[in-house]
Amino acid sequence: MLRQISEDMRVNLKDRLRELRDVIRQSRHDSAGEPPREIANLPPFPGRSLIGHAASAVDEALTIAESFVPHSRPLKVDGTTVKSLSIYFPEGDEDRQIDGERQFRRDMYYLARAVLAGYGIDNPRVHEASFSAIHAAMRRHHADLLAAATAETASNDQVAAACSALLVECLSHRPVQSGETGSIDHSLEIKSLAPVVLACGLASKADGGAPEPDILEIAVLAAEVREDRIRLACAQANPVQELTPVFATLLAHLT
């Protein structure tokens, strides 16, 4: 229990530091993006350029420091990064459960950022800690779906049902946000997370086989084709039930 609390604190601290780093990068004097609202609203004055140069110096110092710190960031994020539901939600003792949660949180964070980068969205606001909450919610609310989907004899529909529940929990906890205060539009979340969830389903169907580097790319293209149906299903009273046939059809065509 203490180990998990320590892990949660570390992940939340990482998210806060990432947000600070994004603000610093947007404040650089040579940044091509929009400056943070606090900086943009400042009236023109000679010291304003100093803020940008100071931000650049801090960003470069952090980059140098980061290069000396060991981290678990994957060298490359592609289809080989995605793992099956049985890896993310294993049966067994606490150590296996914690390891599954850690892999899920880490992979989902980097996969979501990779999908957003493919759409040309730089420095998206993705909270790694939210994926820990999603993992816990899946175990708490959808244990029966996970048990069925991770069984050796799992059917296409059972994997699709677990994937549907996973997407619904993702939309509920909002790990990916546009940054617009008060916005409840799930467009960006669906665009980035539906392919990741579908890729997880594909990895689950191919569990035991060699990972395919193009799984994520295939999932992105497939989710784009069915984005309107996914969006509509997510807006229904029982989104898991409505999403399941959509994901089942995609899994059937792609495996």
At 59-99, the pLDDT tens digits run 565 555 454 444 556 667 888 899 999 999 999 888 999 99
Strands 125-126 and 176-177: antiparallel
Compute the average pLDDT of residues 179-203: 82
Looking at per-residue confidence, does 188 or 38 come out higher? Answer: 188
In the chain, which ranges are continuous DSSP H helix?
2-27, 37-40, 47-67, 85-88, 94-118, 128-141, 143-149, 156-173, 187-205, 215-225, 227-234, 239-254
Torsion of CA 181, 177, 32, 11, to 10 degrees: 120
Compute the average pLDDT of residues 11-29: 58
Q: Could you read off the pLDDT of 127-163 as tens digits, one per residue?
A: 999 999 999 999 999 999 999 999 999 999 999 999 9
| pLDDT for residue 92 | 86
Is 6's pLDDT higher than 50?
A: yes
| pLDDT for residue 96 | 92
Is 255's pLDDT higher than 70?
A: yes
Compute the average pLDDT of residues 13-18: 60
| pLDDT for residue 69 | 46
| pLDDT for residue 253 | 94
Mean pLDDT rounded to a whole number for the chain:
80
Q: State the Rg of the chain over Cα.
A: 20
The percentage of residues in the chain with a pLDDT greater than 70, rounded to a whole number, is 65
Read off the pLDDT band of 206 (50, 70, 90): confident
The residue among 125, 99, 112 whose CA lies nearest residue 166 is 112
Is 168's pLDDT higher than 60?
A: yes
Q: Could you read off the pLDDT of 209-254 as tens digits, one per residue?
A: 666 889 999 999 999 999 999 999 999 999 999 999 999 999 999 9
Cα 203 from Cα 254, distance rounded (Å): 11
Q: Could you read off the pLDDT of 48-69 as tens digits, one per residue?
A: 455 555 555 655 655 554 544 4
The sign of the dihedral angle between the CA atoms of 109, 115, 117, 119 is negative
Compute the average pLDDT of residues 194-198: 97
DSSP-derived secondary structure letter, 46: T
Question: How many Cβ atoms from other residues are within 10 Å of residue 216's Cβ?
Answer: 25
